Amino acid sequence: MKPLVAIIDWARQPVGDPAASIESGILGDAAVVKTFLCDTEADFTGEILNAQALIIWHNIQVTAPTIARLTSCRALIRNGVGFDSVDGAAAAQRGLALCNVPDYGTEEVADHALALTLALCRQLFPLDAEAKRLGWSIAVEPRLRRLRELTFGIIGLGRIGTATALRAKALGFQVCFYDPHLPNGVHKAIGITRVAGLDELLRRSDVVSVHCPLNAETHHLIGERELALMKPDAFVVNTARGAIIQKTAILEALRHGRLAGAGLDVVEDEPLRTAEEAATPNLIVTCHAAFCSVESKREMRATSARIARAAVLGEPLDNIVNGVPRTARPAN
């Protein structure tokens, strides 16, 4: 029998296609490809647990007990950049590679971050609402800002952070960044300013855009204390992971006027849970959609399928994020 590549989609909101047309086209005769709709890992069937590769869409957590039950798997492939939903350490203990797709949505997320920024700095949504009420008083005039006089601060200068920095720079922002994991000299390569600490970046920035991964170091990286350091007329944009910013803290800052606005593609414990949260003033929220485009989704699925094909053929794997050697064989 041919090996199985199992695509794990979210039953409540599927984002792939049941026929797995892109994945099937790339895997060809190398494997059988099936899509499984699951609410949680508790829904993993014996067929899934026997698959040789799992392609996992977001919203499904894969924890150590489930990983221990994978009898034939060589690769867990997160269909996206973030991989915090899968226990990579537990997979590594079994020699099981955890892979991601780090570059498929770079342009889209950077574009989305700038779109949210422009919507805040130019107050597009309040102006739209006022015009549709047949008004013309420009009540939000005190919030309208000139971009070239603003400092755009970036937290995390990886692929997406760099793409965002270059876009912000082209729009005239004065761009700075904080990233303790990068070597010296990176700022010179793209012509922006490096700051020594997060507190300094928060104090000096008019826009703070988040582009770091979610892990133990960055969970609640921005909370009540950090928001208090920011200018009251500053904006926060997050297109990374929701739990990097403490939800209760940022919503309270907006409600009490300690922050001028926020553009969040991601929120902690997403989506928003109550009408009160949704009614928070000066808040723009999008549906964890920054990565989305016809082109990016196609690229993401094709990359995951190529990694799955390498897994079933016993070839070296790309984009391993949990330290397993590319050519390692999993423990049975």
* Structure tokens that stand for 44 in this block: 């993993």
β-strand pairing of 53-56 with 4-10: parallel
What is the structure's pLDDT at 332?
52
What is the structure's pLDDT at 81?
86
pLDDT digits (tens, 9 = 90+) for 205-235: 999 999 999 999 999 999 999 999 999 999 9
The CATH number assigned to the domain with range 4-104+294-313 reads 3.40.50.720
Confidence of residue 12 (pLDDT cuts 50, 70, 90): confident
The CATH number assigned to the domain with range 106-285 reads 3.40.50.720
pLDDT digits (tens, 9 = 90+) for 20-68: 999 999 999 999 999 999 999 999 999 999 999 999 997 799 999 999 9
The pLDDT > 70 percentage for the chain reads: 98
Q: Give 262's strand partners.
A: 236, 283
pLDDT over 90 (residue 14)? no
Confidence of residue 152 (pLDDT cuts 50, 70, 90): very high
What is the structure's pLDDT at 328?
57
Q: What's the CA gap between 328 and 88, in Å, rounded? A: 15
CA quadruple 218, 220, 226, 230: dihedral sign: positive
pLDDT over 90 (residue 97)? yes
Helices 106-121, 159-170: axis angle to 10 degrees equals 40
Residues with catalytic roles: 241, 270, 288
Mean pLDDT of the 147-168 span: 97
Mean pLDDT of the 135-139 span: 91
Q: Give 62's strand partners.
A: 86
The pLDDT > 90 percentage for the chain reads: 92
Residues of the chain with CATH 3.40.50.720: 4-104+294-313, 106-285
Q: Which residues contact 154 (CB under 8 A, 6 or more apart)?
A: 161, 164, 165, 168, 175, 176, 177, 178, 179, 208, 209, 211
pLDDT digits (tens, 9 = 90+) for 271-314: 999 999 999 999 999 999 999 999 999 999 999 999 999 999 99
What is the structure's pLDDT at 135?
86
What is the structure's pLDDT at 123?
98
What is the structure's pLDDT at 331?
52
CA-based diameter of the chain, in Å? Answer: 70
Q: pTM of the entire structure? A: 0.85
Confidence of residue 330 (pLDDT cuts 50, 70, 90): low
What is the structure's pLDDT at 16?
86
What is the structure's pLDDT at 263?
98
Q: What's the CA gap between 42 and 291, in Å, rounded? A: 28
What is the structure's pLDDT at 13?
84
pLDDT over 90 (residue 15)? no
What is the structure's pLDDT at 127?
97
